[in-house]
Chain A
Amino acid sequence: MKPNTNLDELLSSFIDGELSPRQRTEVQRMAAHDPSVAKRLRQLQNCRTLFCSLPPAEAPGDMLEQIRQSLERKTLLQEQPVAARRATGVIHLVFRKLVAAAAMIALLAFLGAIVYQVVAPVSGPDPTITVAVAPPETISTDTGGRMPPMVVEDKGFCGRLEFQTAMFVSTDAFVKRAIGVCGLENLAQPEVMGNRSVYRVVGARADICRLVASLGSLWNQMDSASLHVDRLQGAAPVVVEAATADQVATVVARNSTEASIETAQVYAAMNHMARTMPGSELPSTLSDDMGSLWAMHAVPMPKLTGPEKPTQAIHTPAEGTAQASLTIVLLRTTK
């Protein structure tokens, strides 16, 4: 007989006692009147009895102990990774702190070295040169008045300007005349030894600047020009190779010895780079005395703001103004 699904469901529920009283009565009535329903009911009851009669299995005797051990294992497994993670985290954190500290120290050392190179103190006057110490003069920088005026003590300038020229005679005569025109006096012993002339002038910075300016037209006749700026305490002088007239004037015009030395160092480095680097970008930049490289150095050019106008100061140097000493050396180039 093909089982009737609905009937099977009804009979199954009847066997399990899951029918309402009305449904139970209905099933009983059906089984009493229909032998096939009665047979199917008995088959299902036998089937159920078969499985209900299966002997129950008993749990292993050590179930409770096994549960305890399992819980202990789980606890250990959960604890170990946490502890391991914590230790790893601490080590990682300490390592990162150490690395950060080392990086900070290295950065500070590097910055310190750079700052020291830029603002390295130049102490003590050159013992070989005696220059009058000028009283401090008030200056302002050319940064648009953003910085307050500062007082700088000018200890003077001392340097040597060396020319090499094939037109020795005419150049020598020009220099001698320029010194006289600027109202300066050659303090050096006349030294014209055929191939070399030496002039030494001492005066106010403005006068020396004027002299340098008047020598500007000479540069075309020179094979080379180098400026040697003496440093204090017997240190080696700063040598500006291939110095231009503007560079010399700028170095001499600085308002303090330190500023002159720093400017000379910058020009020395720039000219050296211009000679060693290929291309014409840098030389063209150097031709502009207030060019971008100079701006990069960020040393503001001083501008006199004292009671005396600069033009007056140039023509009539006040007494006590910082003295500058310039030695001009002319060398004959042998062709």
Chain B
Amino acid sequence: MYLRAANINIDDSVLVQQSQMGDATAMERLILRYQNRIYNVILKMCGNADDAAELAQETFVKVIESIDKFQGKSSFYTWLFRIAVNLTLNHCQRSSRTATRSLDAEETEPDGTATQTLRECLSDERAVDPAAVAQSRELCELAKKCLLQLEEPQRAVVVLRDIEGMDYAQIADVLNIELGTVRSRLSRARSSLRDILEAMLK
């Protein structure tokens, strides 16, 4: 029932207005609409499923508590992601070892095929096949591990751009930074990711 309700194509601003007037169903629709994306971004940033679930939950609780104060200066989408990213960055700063522990626990050696794919990717012998990446669990884990080794501000821009698919303006709005900073930070993050991947394959 919730999923059906979430799929009804009602604009965010309408649902926000209804929520501000005390319509709990509207708020439920907003949560159902964004819960997977929020959870996914948080998980990619913090690397721990339990923490991600808790942070996503905390994000929505904060949204419900603050919906009356939302004035619509930015879109609900960027406001929601700003809350989620800020909570996650604070969490990561508080417990920077959590991600490392999680990775240590799940550490798996990539099999030969995955390693070869990655090497080819890095050496530019052929373009990366998204299907191959998706099917290879080892490759996914390796990419996530790389991501978690980035500094938190760089990780945030990569996740928002490459995983959530935000444009630069939205990223700047969510992180409250300049557009030029997004550009340079993303460029440095991709260079760092490449360096980290190369170091892993050696």
A: which residues have CB within 8 A of B? 3, 5, 8-9, 11-13, 16, 18, 39, 42-60, 63-64, 66-67, 70-71, 74
- Apart from the given pairs A3-B191, A49-B133, A56-B37, 12 other A-B contacts in the complex at a CB distance below 8 Å: A9-B183, A9-B184, A44-B190, A45-B127, A47-B193, A50-B118, A50-B143, A51-B143, A57-B40, A70-B61, A71-B61, A71-B64
Contact B168 A18 (CB under 8 A): yes
Q: How far is the CA of A63 from the CA of B32 in the complex (A)?
A: 9
Pick 21 A–B contacts, CB within 8 A, sort by A.
Answer: A3-B191, A9-B184, A18-B167, A42-B124, A46-B121, A46-B128, A47-B193, A48-B162, A50-B118, A50-B133, A51-B163, A51-B193, A52-B163, A53-B134, A54-B144, A58-B40, A59-B39, A63-B56, A67-B64, A70-B58, A71-B64
Q: Which of B37, B39, B124, B162 contacts A52 (CB 8 A)?
A: B162
Contact B35 A63 (CB under 8 A): yes
**Minimal beta-carbon separation of A70 from chain B (angstroms):** 5
Interface residues of B in 167-201 (CB under 8 A from A): 167-168, 183-184, 186-188, 190-191, 193-194, 197
Q: How far is the CA of A46 from the CA of B186 in the complex (A)?
A: 15
State the interface size on chain B (CB cutoff 8 A). Answer: 53
Q: Which residue of B lies closest to A73 (CB)?
A: B61
**Minimal beta-carbon separation of B70 from chain A (angstroms):** 17
Which residues does chain B contribute within 8 Å of A43, judged by CB atoms? 122, 124, 194
Which residues does chain B contribute within 8 Å of A71, judged by CB atoms? 61, 64
Contact B35 A59 (CB under 8 A): yes
Q: Which of A12, A42, A48, A58 contacts B39 (CB 8 A)?
A: A58
Q: How far is the CA of A39 from the CA of B131 in the complex (A)?
A: 22
Interface string of B1-21 (1 = CB under 8 A from A): 010000000000000000000
**Minimal beta-carbon separation of A4 from chain B (angstroms):** 10
Q: How far is the CA of A46 from the CA of B133 in the complex (A)?
A: 11
